[in-house]
Structure 1
Amino acid sequence: MKSPRLLVSALLFISLSASAQKLPDWAIGPFVRPPGVNPVIAPDSTTRFYDPLRQEPVDWESNDTFNPAAAVKDNRVYVMYRAEDRSGIGIGHRTSRIGLAESSNGTSMKRLGKPVLFPDNDEQREFEWTGGCEDPRVAVTEDGTYLMLYTQWNKKVPRLAAATSKDLKHWKKHGPVFQDAYNGRFHNIASKSASVLTTLKNGRLQIVPHNGKYWMYWGENHVYAATSDNLVDWVPVVDEQGKLKELASPRKGYFDSHLTECGPPAILTDKGIVLLYNGKNRSGADSDTSYTANSYCAGQMLFSATDPSRLITRLDKPFMVPVESFEKSGQYPAGTVFIEGLVYFQHKYLLYYGCADSRVAVAVYDPAGK
Structure 2
Amino acid sequence: MSTVSIFDDARFPLGPFVPYEGNPIMRPRGNSWESSNLYNPAALVVDDEVVLLYRAHAEDIVSHVGLARSTDGFHFEREPEPILSPEHDYERFGCEDPRIAFIDGTYYLTYTGWDRTSAQLCLATSTDLHTWTKHGPLFEDFDTFATVDPRGHAWSKAGVIVPFRIQGKWWMYFGEGAIYWATSDDLISWTPGTSQDEPMYEPTPGSFDRDLVEIGTSPVLTDNGLLLMLTNGAVRHVYDDHVDVDYRCGQVVIDPAEPTKVLARTQEPWLAPQTYEDTHGLVSNVTFVEGLVKFRGRWLAYYGQSDTTLAVAVHDPASPWGAPSALAD
- TM-score of the pair, normalised by structure 2: 0.85
| Structure 1 position 106 matched with structure 2 position 73 | yes
Equivalent in the alignment of 1:38: 23
Equivalent in the alignment of 1:219: 175
| Structure 1 position 261 matched with structure 2 position 246 | no
- Decide which of 163, 180, 191 is 2:156's aligned counterpart: 191
Cα distance in 2 for partners of 1:234, 1:190 equals 16
1:168-179 → structure 2 map (5 Å cutoff): 168-178=129-139
Equivalent in the alignment of 1:300: 251
- Note if contact 1:157-1:190 (Cα within 8 Å) is conserved in structure 2: yes
Amino acid at match of 1:43: P
| Structure 1 position 69 matched with structure 2 position 31 | no
Q: Deviations over 1:42-83 (max 9, x none)?
A: 10124xxxxxxxxxxxx2111100111111111111111111
More helix by share: 1
Q: Deviations over 1:256-284 (max 9, x none)?
A: 01100110112232252212110101326
Equivalent in the alignment of 1:273: 227
TM-aligned CA distance change 1:180 to 1:295, over 3 Å: closer
Amino acid at match of 1:106: G
The structure with the larger Rg is 1
Cα distance in 1 for partners of 2:158, 2:273 equals 20
Per the alignment, in what secondary structure is the counterpart of residue 318 of structure 2? helix
Cα distance in 1 for partners of 2:172, 2:15 equals 22
Equivalent in the alignment of 1:133: 95
Cα distance in 2 for partners of 1:341, 1:226 equals 21
Cα distance in 2 for partners of 1:164, 1:368 equals 36
Equivalent in the alignment of 1:96: 63
How many residues matched?
A: 297
Cα distance in 2 for partners of 1:308, 1:96 equals 33
Amino acid at match of 1:277: T
1:1-370 → structure 2 map (5 Å cutoff): 26-35=12-21, 37-46=22-31, 59-87=32-60, 94-120=61-87, 125-129=88-92, 131-141=93-103, 143-178=104-139, 189-197=154-162, 207-238=163-194, 242-269=195-222, 270-283=224-237, 294-333=245-284, 335-370=285-320
Q: Deviations over 1:338-365 (max 9, x none)?
A: 0001112112211110100001101111
Equivalent in the alignment of 1:185: none
After TM superposition, the structure 1 stretch with the greater mean CA deviation from structure 2, 320-329 or 166-175, is 166-175
CA RMSD of aligned residues (A): 2.1
Q: Percent identity?
A: 38
- Note if contact 1:65-1:359 (Cα within 8 Å) is conserved in structure 2: yes
Question: 1:170, CA displacement in angstroms?
Answer: 2.2
Q: Deviations over 1:26-55 (max 9, x none)?
A: 2111111222x2111110124xxxxxxxxx
Greater RCO (Cα-Cα under 8 Å, separation 6 or more): 2
Cα distance in 2 for partners of 1:109, 1:346 equals 16
Cα distance in 2 for partners of 1:105, 1:272 equals 28
Cα distance in 2 for partners of 1:243, 1:98 equals 28
Cα distance in 1 for partners of 2:318, 2:185 equals 36
Question: 1:116, CA displacement in angstroms?
Answer: 0.3
Per the alignment, in what secondary structure is the counterpart of residue 326 of structure 1? helix
Q: Which runs of 5+ in 1 are unaligned?
A: 1-23, 47-58, 88-93, 182-187, 198-206, 286-291
Cα distance in 2 for partners of 1:166, 1:30 equals 34
Question: 1:177, CA displacement in angstroms?
Answer: 1.8
Equivalent in the alignment of 1:56: none
- Note if contact 2:120-2:140 (Cα within 8 Å) is conserved in structure 1: no
Q: Which runs of 5+ in 2 are unaligned?
A: 1-9, 143-152, 321-329
Structure 1 consecutive aligned stretches of length 4 or more whose deviation exceeds 4 Å: none
Cα distance in 2 for partners of 1:367, 1:177 equals 37
Cα distance in 1 for partners of 2:315, 2:76 equals 19
Cα distance in 2 for partners of 1:170, 1:365 equals 33
Per the alignment, in what secondary structure is the counterpart of residue 312 of structure 1? strand
